[in-house]
Amino acid sequence: MRRLLLVVLLLPLVIAGWLIWDYHRFLQTPVNLADATEFQVPAGASLRRVGQELAAAGIISKPHYWEIQGRLSEQDQGIRAGEYLIHPGQTPADLLALFIRGRTIQYSLTIPEGWTFLQMMRAIAAHEKIRNTLDPDDYMNVMSHLGRPGEHPEGWFFPDTYLFPRHTTDMDILRIAHQRMQRELDLAWENRQEDLPLSNAYEALIMASIVEKETGHPEERTQVSAVFNERLRRGMRLQTDPTVIYGIEHFDGRIRRRDLRADHPYNTYTRDGLPPTPIALPGVASLRAAVNPADARALFFVSRGDGTHHFSETYQEHRRAVIKYQLGGDASRYGR
């Protein structure tokens, strides 16, 4: 009788001890996965529901232990929705920490420097992880969605690589890129040289877009900027091909003499001053170069054919450079 009573008294303690041991073993035992697996935590999902879905996916075996851990650690309300990558070797305790911290899978979109606004929009629309809310017919009205109705969108989005979780919208990406461009432009304008022939930050953005399209060599950006700023200062036309190209609706990759003569708002061969809007998305180096041109007197430059340019202070020097680098030394091809 005494032995039976002892067993009866000890049995609950043994069971409790085993449960505690099993509970801690569960928390520290790696999940049942052979390969990394994506797992979606739905918006508004409770701790219990997430545990049940983990069990249904075969990732954990005892969802009630999972729920207990969340409640004991007072983290039952902190799980963040999103798409997660669960790796072999992670434990249920690790998963709870992962979901609480919200370390979701991040996808990327790279917007190269020098792309146009429409090139960027096509890349956003083609990204399978971005949720599109804009119709192509509405692209040119995107600034209205950003609180700047009536403004042209070209140039207003910073080129960079952006990371984001699944179901991020096109407007989310655009809002972030626009805010970044506004900050970088403001910073560049605040640190500009004195006596620039630019009236405001928007004109600096236009200038930066031209610099971006004219050269990809970092050391040339301030020189190109110096040429165009000096031309503006002297009242000379900019005569830059990238602005003409931007104004051609269906550019086939070749600029012709008739294109330089066809008058339109972006033809800086026929129009004075800057074009009405930027012509591309400039990077930070071009933004800074636009408002901090080199201390140089060049008024002309021509491509050497290797990605770099020859800069000239006089038209005569420029003519010789064109003949040398563009016309194979044949002066008869230069024309008037």
Residue 195 CA to its chain's centroid (Å): 33
pTM over 0.75: yes
Residue 12 lies in a domain: no
Which of 68, 85, 101 finishes a domain? 101
In a domain, 14, yes or no: no
Asked, for residue 312, whether it belongs to a domain, the answer is: yes
User: 310 and 252, same structural domain?
Assistant: yes
Tokens of 270: 């026929």
Q: Identify the domain boundary among 184, 199, 228.
A: 184
Same domain, 220 and 293: yes
SS3 call for 115: coil
Contact 242, 266 (CB under 8 A): no
Domains held by the chain: number? 3
Of 149, 184, 219, which marks where a domain is finished? 184
List per-residue pLDDT tens for the chain, 336 residues long.
555 555 455 556 555 555 566 556 766 778 888 888 999 998 888 888 998 999 898 898 888 877 887 787 766 677 888 999 999 989 988 988 899 888 999 999 999 999 999 999 999 999 999 999 999 999 999 999 999 999 999 999 999 999 999 889 999 999 999 999 999 999 999 999 999 999 999 999 999 999 999 988 888 999 999 999 999 999 999 999 999 999 998 888 888 889 999 999 999 999 999 999 999 999 999 999 999 999 988 898 888 888 889 888 898 989 898 888 887 776 666 665
Q: Which residues of 224-234 are buried (b: 16+ CB within 10 A; e: fewer)?
A: bbbbbbbbbee
**Parent domain of 50:** 23-101
Asked whether residue 93 is domain-assigned, the answer is yes
* 129 shares its domain with 175: yes
